[in-house]
Amino acid sequence: MEEGKIPKHIAIIMDGNGRWAKKQGLARGYGHREGMKPVRRAVEFCRNKGISCLTVFAFSTENWKRPASEVNIIMGILREYLYSETPELNANGVKVRFIGDISVLPQECREAIYYSEKITEKNDSLTLNIACNYGGRADILRAVKTLAAKAVQGDIEPEELTEDDVSAELYTSGCPDPDMIIRTGAEKRISNFLIWQGAYSELYFTDKLWPDITEDDLEEAVQWYSERQRRYGGLK
């Protein structure tokens, strides 16, 4: 595979945890817990490939509609993951960054997030963006409000705004836009995920449920990406 064909930023919609658990005859919570294993595999894969940024969709702004019992399980698993995995992530040079409105998360989760982000903030081998209470439209709306406030204060001229100005106010500021968005679990939609940033992302869909994803599956996705012609509306 040509070095230039390796994506700089991969984003993943980790779909299928609940269905995986149902197939095993287990409660949905077991699927969410099992879904932490391929997160580890994805982080290691990206580090080995020299990919600079990995964004995983952990919890959307719409996921609050799920039963409170399931939401509590997800939040508990997230907290456990951060406390158990951060030391190794830090040792491997991974920077953990949360994108989304974490202010409304349970205090125990926020404490775990601050712990993980603080310890890994100077790392630079891989940035792991964890999208939690994240929605693409909310991300854009937040950026628009920030830019509108700056315009009111006279700090910017509205007619001079550029796409780069908007990108700079999004949660993913500092990371390149995702070259590829992977969605597992057979669904064929992006579900309000990185809708500004993913304007030109290659979309890769697989029927495999997230807990079943292996490094070989990720390798297959990157190989598929390497064969794509990215024209950005132009011609090759």
Residues catalogued as catalytic: 15, 63
Place of tokens 């269905």: 19
Q: Exposed (0-12), middle (13-18) or buried (19+): which is 75, by Cβ within 10 Å?
A: middle
Q: Which amino acid is at 72?
A: N
Angle between helices 36-49 and 68-91 (to 10 degrees): 30
Beta strands in the chain (DSSP E): 9-13, 53-60, 94-99, 126-134, 180-183, 202-205
Task: Answer yes or no: are the C-beta atoms of 201 and 177 closer than 8 Å.
Answer: yes
